[in-house]
A and B are shown apart, each in its own frame.
Chain A
Amino acid sequence: MRLQSILAATTAAFIAAGTMAVQAQEEPVRIAAIAPLSGPGAFDGQLAVEGMEAMVAIVNENGGVLDGRMLELVTYDDKGSPEEGVSAAKRAIEQDDVDVIVGGWFSSVALTMKEVTRDRILTIMTTSQHPDTTREGHDWLFRLNATSTMMSGAYSQFICDRMDLESIAFITINDDYGRLEVENYEKLLSECGIEVLGNEYYNKDDADFTTALTKLRAANPDAIYVSAINTAQGATIYRQIRQVGYRGTTIASAGNMNPKLVELSGPALEGVYSVSLFAPDSQDPELLAWVAKYEEMFDNEPSFIGSIGAQSIEVLAEAIDAAGTVRDYGELAETIRGNEWDTLLGNVTFDDIGQAEQNIYLIQIQDGKIASVN
Chain B
Amino acid sequence: MEMELVLLTQQIMNGLVNGMTYVLIATGLTLVFGVLHIINFAHGEFYMLGAFFTFFAAKLLGLDYISAGIVATLGVAVLGILANRFFFWPLRKEHEFTVLLSSLGLALLLTNGGELIFGADPKYVASPFADGIVPLGPVIVTQQRMLIFAVGALVLVLLYLFIQKTRMGKMMRATAQNPEGAALTGVDIRRVYTVTFMVACGLAALAGALVGPTAMIFPTVGTWAVLKGFIVVVLGGLGSIPGALIGGLILGVVEALAGGYISMGFAQAIGFSIIIVVLLWRPNGLFGAARRA
Contacts and interface: CB of A to CB of B under 8 A. Distances in A.
A, B: real partners? yes
Given A39-B220, A40-B220, A200-B264, A208 B3 contact: no
A25 interface: no
Contacts of B90: none
Interface residues of A, number: 39
Contacts of B260: 211-212, 214-215
Taking chain A's interface residues, is the majority helix, strand, or loop, or is none over half, making it mixed?
helix
B109 interface: no
Given A46-B121, A243-B130, A210 B14 contact: yes
A239 interface: yes
Nearest to A199: B263
Given A201-B263, A244-B140, A260 B215 contact: no
A212 B215 contact: no
A214 B220 contact: no
B221 A260 contact: no
Interface string B14-34: 110010000000000000000
Contacts of B124: 235, 239, 264, 266
B10 A214 contact: yes
B216 A211 contact: no
Nearest to B225: A207
Given A201-B263, A215-B7, A232-B122, A208 B214 contact: yes
Interface in A259-280: 260, 264, 266
Contacts of B256: 211
A257 to B, nearest CB: 15
Interface string A129-163: 00000000000000000000000000000000000
A149 B211 CA distance: 37
Contact of B218 (A211, A212, A214, A232): A232
A264 B264 contact: no
Contacts of B121: 43, 46, 231, 260, 300
Contacts of B178: none
B11 interface: yes
Contacts of A37: 120
B120 A42 contact: yes
Interface string A196-218: 00001111011111111011001
B10 A242 contact: no
Contacts of A46: 120-121
B142 A40 contact: no
Nearest to A210: B14
A174 interface: yes
A223 B111 CA distance: 38
Given A203-B265, A208-B18, A218-B7, A43 B218 contact: yes
B259 A211 contact: yes
A260 B7 contact: no
B142 A243 contact: yes
A243 B131 contact: yes
B163 interface: no
A254 B256 CA distance: 29
Contacts of A210: 14, 18
Interface of B: 3, 7, 10-11, 14-15, 18, 111, 115, 120-124, 130-131, 133, 140, 142, 144-145, 211, 214-216, 218-221, 223-224, 255-256, 259-260, 263-265, 267-268
Given A205-B223, A211-B267, A235-B216, 14 more contacts: A37-B120, A38-B111, A38-B115, A43-B120, A203-B264, A207-B224, A208-B215, A209-B264, A211-B256, A211-B260, A235-B122, A236-B216, A244-B140, A264-B124
By Cβ-Cβ distance, the 3 closest A-B pairs, closest first, are A211-B259, A232-B122, A201-B265
